[in-house]
Structure 1
């Protein structure tokens, strides 16, 4: 009888140990909040003829891991891709992921979650989830000065390639984030801030 009780107690102890061990291995990633400075978005260089030229290539970015290699463009490892004023999302016609976006009018810090009314769109051949063109998405273009300016109060809600959520605000389109960019400012360098929620929920806090 003693032996049977001892075995039962040992078995129970082992089960509790395994259960505790499983709980200890659960890791919850924290919400990620960062500012990215001077992300190159196919900046132009001057050719031998004195004309500005660009490569035509996108810079792929993951809110979870940072810059993603172009060789991974056909995966769900990236979330947004930048080339000049165009921002792609990893879904629809632009990628193989679950991504999409919607542009909201609001205050970045006050956007605590993805609103229930928000409709996340995917890129199509005729319309990007984050529209291009002056006044249509995140920026205005001044034809007199050729300056691109982020529109104040525009929050980009992003569904990532893996189906998680992030909010993003473009702060500058010029290298060094000049307060008043001019013709001498190097363009196609994004400075932006974002908050990424790794648990898949719609909340950013």
Structure 2
């Protein structure tokens, strides 16, 4: 009888262990995508007041959105806003109601493999988390005669999303079809998004 009790206890332990393993959530694969020709129009510029609606992007869906809340980053001209912090005071910007954070990490896109040790900032009064201006953030402005805007090599944008997930972005071009002879304010970028909450790895 004693042997049967021990056997029953062992079998119960094994079954509970197997059940626990079966109940463990299966990680969702990391998503890697390329977005082409995301339009980010603006009014003004060249000494005139800048305005216009920001184009919002949601990492979870991988699409632009007009939602007031379900967005992570937003584009207008060369400016990138995040849905975290407070409004900066620029015209026509969206309200911030999330906890998105942003950082610029120096390295290759493939080489930035984890967001664990990244320090994130948020938009603030008078300043964007991703700094604006040539050579301050993600781009360089060549000035006359070409006036070309080029992504700075080795500047990778890393984000904590509104859902507490993590993403990295490599901006490839600011021009339609990645052709500097065509219209500007058309972003093409690679991004990697980890849909598993709290997981910081990009692999």
**TM bucket by the smaller chain?**
0.7 to 0.9
Q: How do 1:124-135 residues align onto structure 2 when only pairs under 5 Å count?
A: 124-135=124-135
Give, in whole Å, the separation in 2 of the partners of 1:63 and 1:88.
Answer: 14
Q: Secondary structure at the match of 1:98?
A: coil
2:31 counterpart of 1:28? no
Q: Which residue matches 2:138?
A: 138
The Cα RMSD (Å) is 2.7
Q: Which residue matches 2:201?
A: 203
Contact 2:166 2:195 in 1 (8 A): yes
Q: Which residue matches 1:5?
A: none
Superposition deviation, residue 166 in structure 1: 0.5
Q: Which residue matches 1:87?
A: 80
Provide Cα deviations, 1:69-99, integer angstroms capped at 9, x if missing partner: 32x22x1x21110110010111001411110
Provide Cα deviations, 1:92-141, integer angstroms capped at 9, x if missing partner: 0141111010111111101110152x210011012211111000000001
User: Which stretches in structure 1 are left out of the alignment for 5+ residues?
Assistant: 1-11, 45-53
Q: Which residue matches 2:93?
A: none
Provide Cα deviations, 1:126-171, integer angstroms capped at 9, x if missing partner: 2211111000000001111221100000000111111211010100
Q: Which residue matches 1:40?
A: 39
Contact 2:142 2:149 in 1 (8 A): yes
2:190 counterpart of 1:193? yes
Q: Which residue matches 1:51?
A: none
Contact 1:100 1:121 in 2 (8 A): yes
User: Which stretches in structure 2 are left out of the alignment for 5+ residues?
Assistant: 1-11, 44-49, 88-95
Q: Secondary structure at the match of 1:108?
A: coil
Superposition deviation, residue 33 in structure 1: 0.4
Give, in whole Å, the separation in 2 of the partners of 1:167 and 1:136.
Answer: 18
Give, in whole Å, the separation in 1 of the partners of 2:152 and 2:173.
Answer: 10
| TM-score normalised by the chain length of structure 1 | 0.76
Contact 1:43 1:187 in 2 (8 A): no
Give, in whole Å, the separation in 2 of the partners of 1:28 and 1:201.
Answer: 10
